[in-house]
Amino acid sequence: MSDTDRITELEMQLAHTTRLCEELSDVVAEQAGRIDKLERKLLILSERAATEEANRPGSVVLGDQRPPHW
């Protein structure tokens, strides 16, 4: 294999690696956005559930209860 062939092969591998890194970066960015959105939804739902629990007559908010072993 000549030097020119080896250089060409290395350039092809570098181009493939660069493209793969860009694709992976796009996937990671998309997943980060989805995780942020899910975290916001979870926070909203948690707050809503806590509010409903606190407004229920005779209920004690779980965060205010002592664990059974105390």
Which tens digit of pLDDT belongs to each residue from 47-62? 998 888 878 877 665 6
Is 21 inside any structural domain? yes
Tokens 């939804």 belong to residue: 41
Alpha-carbon span 22 to 10, nearest angstrom? 18
If we measure between CA atoms, which residue out of 54, 23, 55, 7 comes closest to residue 63? 54
Which residues are CB-contacts of 62 (< 8 A; sequence separation ≥ 6)? 53
- For residue 28, being part of any structural domain is answered with yes
Residue range of the domain that includes 24? 3-52
Say whether pLDDT at 2 is over 80.
yes
| 22-46 pLDDT per residue, tens | 999 999 999 999 999 999 999 999 9
What number is the average pLDDT over the span 3-7?
A: 95
57 falls within a domain: no
Tally of domains within the chain: 1
Residue 15 located in a structural domain? yes
Q: Alpha-carbon distance 29 to 7, whole Å?
A: 33
